Amino acid sequence: MKTQTKSKKVNKAWLNNHVTDPYVRQAQKDGYRSRAAYKLKEIDESLGLIKPGQLVVDLGAAPGAWSQYLRRCFAPKVAGQGGAAVGELNGRIVALDLLEMEAIEGVQFIQGDFREQVVAEQLAQSLQGAAVDLVVSDMAPNLSGIETTDAARIEHLIELALEFCQAHLKADGALVAKVFHGSGYNRYLELFKDHFQVVKPLKPKASRDRSAETFLIGMRLRRAPR
């Protein structure tokens, strides 16, 4: 009974923090599906990554807040409902996630596990041979609480994103990827430096202080030897 009472207190505290979170309130006001939109917004405004006319791939897209923000960047003059502008889109967005995602006008969505070859091939085919300007990845594994196991899972997702960039990203393109501070962080940083000429770590204000979540941004791709 004590454990159950403690659990209820924790859930109540989380709910209270969530509903009073200024980014949650702002997301509801702006029509975004989650507060995550402001993480990408801050990264974009800091580094100027997103420009109309680009081809962007959104990995780990559900529930869709990053794709909503991208769409708003590509159609900023036409206000719409649901956090994304409506009307003609000056750019292309291809989104992928293991989970279902409610449709966003103009966003091509693929449901599947990026770790599976057939899904990665389907994503590649959807690009229609075009080179990608920007890859944004909010992918994260189900964390086990075992640090070494979780670090390996995160590293695997990063490696997949980097492999995709090697195959499809423009030379002057960029990758934004979620990582976590911990025993594996230096390894993630090394991987980025192996693949990009410029690497910047950034923890947006919209990312909760108590969270180990942070983001690595790689710019100007180093092509792997073939």
What pLDDT, in 10s, does the model give residues 139-194? 988 878 888 898 999 999 999 999 999 999 999 999 999 999 988 999 999 999 99
| Active-site residue (options: 178, 193, 203, 205) | 178
Show binding-site residues for S-adenosyl-L-methionine. 64, 66, 97, 113, 138
- Which candidate, 21, 23, 46, places its Cα nearest to that of 36? 23
Give me the chain's average pLDDT, please.
87
Give the chain's end-to-end CA distance (angstroms, integer).
61
- The C-alpha angle 94, 98, 102, rounded to 5 degrees, equals 60
CA distance 57 to 95: 6
pLDDT band with cut points at 50, 70 and 90 for residue 9: very low
Show binding-site residues. 64, 66, 97, 113, 138
Rg over CA atoms, the chain: 18
If one compares 42 and 81, the residue with the highest pLDDT of the two is 42
Q: What is the pTM of this model?
A: 0.87
**pLDDT confidence of residue 209:** 81
Looking at the DSSP bridge assignments, the partners of residue 138 are: none
Query: How large is the angle between the packed helices 117-126 and 147-168, nearest 10 degrees?
Result: 30
Annotated active-site residue 178? The verdict is yes
CB distance 139 to 59 below 8 Å: yes
CA distance 91 to 134: 11
**pLDDT confidence of residue 226:** 38
Residue 84 has pLDDT above 90, yes or no: no
Residue 15 has pLDDT above 50, yes or no: no
If one compares 173 and 78, the residue with the highest pLDDT of the two is 173
> What's the gap between Cα 124 and its chain centre?
18
3-state secondary structure of 96: strand
DSSP tag of 11: H
CA dihedral 134, 106, 87, 70 (to 10 degrees): -30
pLDDT band with cut points at 50, 70 and 90 for residue 118: very high
